Amino acid sequence: MPVPEGRFASVSESAARHAPPVGGTAADLAWERHLEQAAIAFLAGDGIMPPLLWARGLDIAERHFTSGDPRLACSLTNRAFALRRQGERFESNKMFKDARATWSETWRWVRLMTPGGASLGCPAGGAESLPVYDHPTQEVLFALAAQGLAATDAIEGYDRLPTQGVRLWLDMKPTVFSDLRRLLGGVLLIVSNPR
């Protein structure tokens, strides 16, 4: 479903295009703003804006993020949830399947996560010098990614929405863009329960 332009166009997308990103790309910023706005609107009981913003977030994720990126999995989950609520079961089921497959690929993404403000795919001195997290830290990050898959499964199978999501995200969002911030966004910006 195409997203209408005009009055529904997000201010954050325009701001992200014109503001210099601090450690993140314009796509990082735009995706985050769309998902934050959608989550806040959904928690407020708005039934119109969240599906539009989730569709835009998915478009950004599909165009700019790699397979296995938790933000792509999050976007697929949210869009599938919206489509199911609109009665589009076939497309919804396909997106839930794609979301689970993407979550299943996050191990590669997590394995290459770098600490600090560095980001995936940008090694300064080649792949052999990429400063990745140590094994114990990676295990914690894998467990965090597994929470994203568990949330997707709960939403798909039982229509159980996570209870904290965006509230935790707004409380703990790192101030500098990093791979950890990208992973946290992917896990915590999955649609959450408005109650």
Task: Please indicate, yes or no, whether the overall pTM of this predicted structure exceeds 0.85.
Answer: no
Rounded Cα distance, 131 and 38, in Å: 34
Local mean pLDDT, 10-residue blocks, the chain (195 residues): 39 39 76 93 91 96 92 95 93 96 91 66 44 84 89 83 76 82 87 69
The pLDDT value recorded for residue 126 is: 42
Domain ranges of the chain: 7-112+130-188
The pLDDT value recorded for residue 6 is: 41
DSSP labels, 85-145: HTT-HHHHHHHHHHHHHHHHTHHHHHHT--STT--TT--SS-GGG--PPPHHHHHHHHHHH
The pLDDT value recorded for residue 181 is: 86
